[in-house]
Structures are given as structure tokens and as C-alpha cells.
Amino acid sequence: MSLRIIATGGTFDKHYDEIAGQLDFGASHLPQVISRARITAEVILEELKLLDSLEMQDADRQRILACCQNSTQQAIVIVHGTDTMQLTAQVLGQALQDKTVVLTGAMIPYEIANSDALFNFGFACGVAQVLPPGVYVAMNGQIFAWNKVAKNRSAGVFEPIR
């Protein structure tokens, strides 16, 4: 089965800039992550502008939606910041019916010790191949429908909402 990965930034892909002394965005880690995963199916990586999800605007979300609509792959994984993941999920969930789109991200950047990034990415790549068409958030080892999830920021976990 063929997979489309869309990189949009977020904590998952932050990079430590040693001159500025802070976390920022450089090149996406996803080419390295995909190679490390030894995926033998076809994988298409599409890199959008890498953004902290708190800085995402409507236009950025529309761009992600367009990528999903134009995708020739049925199974799509979106790597996204956690803070507004549910907002992007809502934009996509209201507009997409025919593909399986799974948003994921990380609480700790891929390049920092004890990161959940690789687990979450594996989880998302798996369920994107199996779930029925629709838009989902995959975090904390769980699958949430796009309109039934919220990030609990003080606890740092995703939770179901009614």
C-alpha cells in the first residue's frame, strides 16, 4: 500500500539551532525517519513550510487540505504540531470523505532524548493503512475521530471529547 506523508512542522520536527541557542526549524527530519523505518511500500514525502502549529493561519490549513485532496495516495499521514492539531483536523474532517488521513506529532522533538516521535509516526503509518476513510488524530497510542479530541495542555496528553 502506498503512503503519502505531509510534513508541516510542529514539535516533532524542531531542530536545535546551535548559533541561536534555541529550537527552530531546519530541514525536516522526515527523510531520515522514513529511511530508518525501512518501509518497503511506496512512500511519497511532501514537505510544506515547517511551522510551529501556534503560528498556523487559515491559509496554511487550506494548503494542507489541498495536499490531501490532490493526493493520489489513499493513506495520508500528516506530521503536525500538537497545539492546534485538533483545529487542522476539523478543517480536514469537514471537507474530506474519501481518504484516510491521520494527523500525528510529538511531545518531544525527534532529535531529543526520550522522544515519542518515532513511535507516533509508526503508529500513524500503520493505522492510516487500515482505518476506513475519514480524518483522525493519533497520539498517546490512541486513535481519535477528528471531531472527538482535544489536547489537554496542562497534562500534555490528548483526550476524547463528546
**Residues acting as catalytic residues:** 11, 82
Q: Which of 113, 124, 128, 103 is nearest to 2 (CA)?
A: 128
Using CB under 8 A as the binding rule, whether residue 141 contacts its own copies is answered as yes
**Cα dist from 113 to 85, 103, 108, 116, 124, whole Å:** 23, 22, 8, 9, 21
**Minimum gap (Å) between residue 10 Cβ and its own copies:** 10
9: alpha, beta or left? (left if phi > 0; alpha if psi -120 to 50): left
Residue type, 77: V
Q: Is 71 annotated as a binding residue?
A: no
Using CB under 8 A as the binding rule, whether residue 74 contacts its own copies is answered as no
Indicate the burial class of 143 (C-beta count within 10 angstroms; 0-12, 13-18, 19 or more).
middle
Q: Could you give the string, one character per residue 118-137, with x where binding to its own copies holds by CB under 8 A and - elsewhere?
A: xxxxxxxxxx-xxx------
Choosing from 76, 109, 137, 151, the residue that interacts with its own copies (CB under 8 A) is 109
Q: Is 83 annotated as a binding residue?
A: yes
Set of cell numbers at residue 41: 511500500
Known binding-site positions for substrate: 53, 82-83
Footprint of its own copies on this chain (CB under 8 A)? Answer: 1, 3, 11, 16, 18-19, 21-23, 33, 36-41, 43, 83, 107-109, 111-116, 118-127, 129-131, 138, 140-143, 153-159
